Chain A
Amino acid sequence: MRSPFRPSRPPDPAILDDHRRLIRLIERRGILRGGLSLGMLAMLTGCDVTSQPGVENALRRVSSWNDRVQAALFDPKHLAPTYPKSMILKPPKFNAYYDITEVKPVDAQTWKLELAGLISDKRPWTAERLLALPETEMVIKHICVEGWDYIGGWSGPTLRTFLERVGADLSAKYVAFTTADDYPSSIDMATALHPQTLLATKYAGEPLADPFGFPLRLRMATKLGYKNPKWITAIEVTNRYPGGYWENLGENWFAGI
């Protein structure tokens, strides 16, 4: 059967000559368009551009530059919003690089907090001595790099109080943490001295539960969740960049919010 779209008489080939210039143009455009879509396709094929070492290095250099920008944006006097105690989520959300069932509780009887680096009094601390320090309580938002958040209530001495007590060099660049769950972490000194940076021993007025870092963890109102190590076993004050668990895998180091 004849297609209804086909003309009964073939067109006069002479019209092609009349429009030769136009046809050439169309072809040129086709090549141009083809080239563009080829470029787009290369981006879309999931041939992962990030994994090439040169690109990865360049991106990490920008991330280090962003650390400096964030340090400049950080206002040591600006306080994070706080919330009424009634809004505290109980229990808090668990998050780690492993599942909650794999948490290995720390024995408070044998636990000690070791000190290292630019600190004048490096004698280890017991849980009992830490609990005797003046306590601060804050009800703040925990914001995860993934995008979720919840309100938590934390108490314990401020890190500033502790660093002053042990005679740390407060002009040093970094405070680094070692933990019982092999989760090294580090922060800048300006954030370490912020009034809403706590060495937390309690949640919602109760001693920390095992999955949330008993007996000692860091809680900062001004950094993303992954910057807050749990089950801290050692604190070091240093000028050498210490890195961290996620940071070494490519997450941003400053991670200020």
Chain B
Amino acid sequence: MRSKKHISSSPPRLHPLPVRLMHWTNAVAMIIMIMSGWGIYDDYVIINGLHFSEDFRLGSWAAPSLLWHFAGMWLLALNGLAYLVYGTVTGRLRQRMLPIRLPEVVQTVRDTLHFKIEHDDLTVYNAVQKLLYIVVILAGISQVVTGLLIWKPIQFSSGVALLGGFQAVRIEHFIGMTVIVGFLLVHVALSLLVPRTLWAMLSGGPRLHVKEKAS
């Protein structure tokens, strides 16, 4: 017998409201951090000859870019922390991202290369999706750590030494940005190819299948 409560409450949606709010907050924060970061980068480039066009920089010169970067960091870090706490407490992170099996990754990559991208069921992430989400979450955490070390290389001098010195941490921060921008390009391109996923991140998406418990 099902309890009355069980009947009245419909199963949760793929993206509950807190996840959607945090996703779009993160989107804004990431864009602020990336574009202001490009403004800061330009004063002392890491790759000779690589400059970011003014059209893609937030801030007309380094000082306003820095103002944006050090304001955006609060949005990014607090929102990211809220997401990790939420994902851990509700068990969502583990449910959605794990397990990842290597053969599945290989199979999905092979299918994708043959243009067999299936998204019939939005509620199930394929192995490559899981892997990409985990990589980008780790890259985000790494950006916060390396960013903190670049901001306070003397106060956290042992952390800087551990990661190879001030210039090494700058390069690591740059690589982290590259990984996130790479993810962003694939992520946005795929969401436009399968617009249902984009709509799901706005409206909540399909309701999750409820596993019937054996009674």
Contacts and interface: CB of A to CB of B under 8 A. Distances in A.
Contacts of B58: 43, 49-50
A222 interface: yes
Contacts of B70: 62-63, 66, 252
Nearest to B192: A33
Interface residues of B, number: 36
Contact of B154 (A29, A63, A80): A80
B120 interface: no
Contacts of A73: 152, 155
Nearest to B199: A29
Contacts of B198: 29, 32-33
Contacts of A32: 198-199, 202
Given A29-B199, A250-B67, A44 B192 contact: no
Given A33-B195, A46-B55, A50-B64, A62 B74 contact: yes
Given A32-B202, A44-B55, A44-B56, A146 B64 contact: no
Interface in B172-204: 192, 195, 198-199, 202
Nearest to A75: B155
A62 B71 contact: yes
Nearest to A80: B154
Interface stretch (A99-107, A137-145, A153-161): A137-145
Contacts of A62: 67, 70-71, 74
Contacts of A145: 43, 62, 66
Contacts of A87: none
Contacts of A80: 154, 157
B84 interface: no
B111 interface: no
B152 A257 contact: yes
B60 interface: yes
B163 interface: no
A41 to B, nearest CB: 11
Contacts of B157: 78, 80-81
Given A62-B70, A252-B70, A257-B154, A51 B60 contact: yes
Interface in A54-80: 56, 58-60, 62-63, 66, 70, 73-75, 78, 80
Contacts of B40: 147
A189 B62 CA distance: 27
B117 interface: no
B170 interface: yes
B167 A48 contact: no
Interface string B143-164: 0000000011111010001000
A170 to B, nearest CB: 22
A144 to B, nearest CB: 7
A75 B155 CA distance: 7
A221 B154 CA distance: 8
Contact of B166 (A56, A74, A141): A141
B63 A56 contact: no
A251 interface: yes
B80 interface: no
Nearest to A59: B67
B137 interface: no
B54 interface: yes
A146 B62 contact: yes
B67 A60 contact: yes
Contact of A59 (B68, B153, B167): B68
Contacts of A249: 63
Contacts of B64: 50-51, 56, 59, 250
B31 interface: yes
Given A50-B59, A81-B161, A222-B154, A144 B44 contact: yes
Q: 8 smallest A-B Cβ distances: which pairs? A: A147-B44, A250-B63, A146-B43, A59-B67, A62-B71, A50-B64, A146-B44, A80-B154
Given A62-B71, A66-B70, A78-B155, 18 more contacts: A32-B199, A43-B35, A50-B59, A63-B70, A63-B71, A70-B152, A74-B155, A75-B155, A81-B157, A146-B43, A147-B40, A147-B170, A250-B63, A250-B66, A251-B66, A252-B70, A257-B152, A257-B153
Interface of B: 31, 35, 40-41, 43-44, 54-56, 58-60, 62-64, 66-68, 70-71, 74, 151-155, 157, 161, 166-167, 170, 192, 195, 198-199, 202
